[in-house]
Amino acid sequence: MVKTVIIEAHGGSDMLKVVDREVGEPGLGQIRIRHEACGLNFIDVYQRSGLYPLQLPQALGMEAAGVVEAVGEGVTHLKPGDRAAYASMPPGAYAQARVMPASQVCPLPDGIPFDQAAAMMLKGLTVQYLFHRTTPIKAGDTVLFHAAAGGVGLIACQWAKSEGIRVIGTAGTDEKCQLALDHGAEACINYRTADWVATVRELTGARGVDVVMDAVGADTFEGSLDCLAPLGMMISFGNASGPVPPFNIGILGQKGSLKITRPTLFTHISDHATCQDMASMLFDKVASGAVKIRIDQRFPLEQVRAAHDALEARRTTGQTVLIP
């Protein structure tokens, strides 16, 4: 029996329950993994609240790291005793151990601690696809990144700097702006005290940015379009402030033949070989020191409600992990 966090109904953090569940043996294409640390992400909040509805009851959590205990038939890239980490469907990572599909579980290099791995898989793989699999971005290009001091943002700032890409960030406090600057952003705008759209235009000589990477959603969508240079790309990859409402697609033409996409990580990692290649690039970035994983919050698994509350209230910076 292992402790596992589940929901039986969608709603607030009070819906989260820690229960004892039996863990069985892995079947075809599966592994059993004992977790050392579990990651916390906004997708967990979306699934809990019902923005991304789940079939209930359902365990939550999309990323973790630990040690493989057993492998099922057909699994060749992992063996018992291997260190491993993942960001993967289906949910269920908020647990001491679980049986799960092996395809998106990645062998973890010895030099990367479990807590860092659990904190970086979903966010780091997200940054990988944002910069390498969504639209061409080259050294010298300028990216506007919202929530630049958050978990994805701090990885993105470092990743971009390592590749010669200019990042203009936004954040909600001067302290968070400084954090983004410390991690490689060229500029960071406090959106509570400054007109961030006008400031972006000033910083780019009125041209605008080549790409916007926006996980905030409703609150920043229109302004983000106004920050783009002609032919620029809007990557809307999250809904922290709520989903983007319907809009007239003709606006994209009026504002300079803009492009827009709404990607998800799980499309990109659905292929086993692609997932492993993306993880390899992420591990190389971390192992080289180009990207450092900052864990600013740690919660025992039993305090998962407090962890969700802190994330939703935007009281977190960097990464957050749950310790089983």
Query: How would DSSP label each residue in 120-142?
Result: HHHHHHHHHHHHHTSS---TT-E
Q: How confident is the model at residue 234 (pLDDT cuts 50, 70, 90)?
A: very high
Summarised one tens digit per residue, pLDDT across range 14-59 is 999 999 999 999 999 999 999 999 999 989 999 999 989 999 999 9
* Phi, psi (degrees; rounded to nearest 5) at 312: -65, -30
Q: Which domains does the chain have, with CATH numbers?
A: 2-123+266-323 (3.90.180.10), 135-262 (3.40.50.720)
pLDDT at 266 over 90: yes
pLDDT at 255 over 90: yes
Place of tokens 């579990």: 38
Q: Please give the share of the chain, as a percent, with pLDDT higher than 90.
A: 93
Per-residue pLDDT, 271: 96
Per-residue pLDDT, 242: 84
**Average per-residue pLDDT for the chain:** 96
Alpha-helix residue ranges (DSSP H) falling in the chain: 42-49, 114-132, 151-162, 174-182, 196-203, 221-227, 250-254, 265-268, 272-288, 304-312
Per-residue pLDDT, 247: 92
Q: How confident is the model at residue 154 (pLDDT cuts 50, 70, 90)?
A: very high
Q: How confident is the model at residue 314 (pLDDT cuts 50, 70, 90)?
A: confident
Q: What single letter denotes the amino acid at residue 101? A: P
Per-residue pLDDT, 135: 97
Contacts (Cβ under 8 Å, ≥6 apart) of 214:
144, 146, 220, 221, 224, 234, 235, 236, 237, 238
Summarised one tens digit per residue, pLDDT across range 133-143 is 999 999 999 99
Per-residue pLDDT, 110: 96
Per-residue pLDDT, 16: 98
Per-residue pLDDT, 117: 97
| pLDDT (average), residues 253-274 | 97
Per-residue pLDDT, 318: 80
Summarised one tens digit per residue, pLDDT across range 281-290 is 999 999 999 9
| pLDDT (average), residues 195-211 | 97
pLDDT at 309 over 90: yes
pLDDT at 160 over 90: yes
Per-residue pLDDT, 233: 98
Please, are residues 283 and 128 in contact by the beta-carbon 8 Å criterion?
no
Q: What secondary structure letter does DSSP report for 95?
A: B
Per-residue pLDDT, 241: 83
Summarised one tens digit per residue, pLDDT across range 177-195 is 999 999 999 999 999 999 9
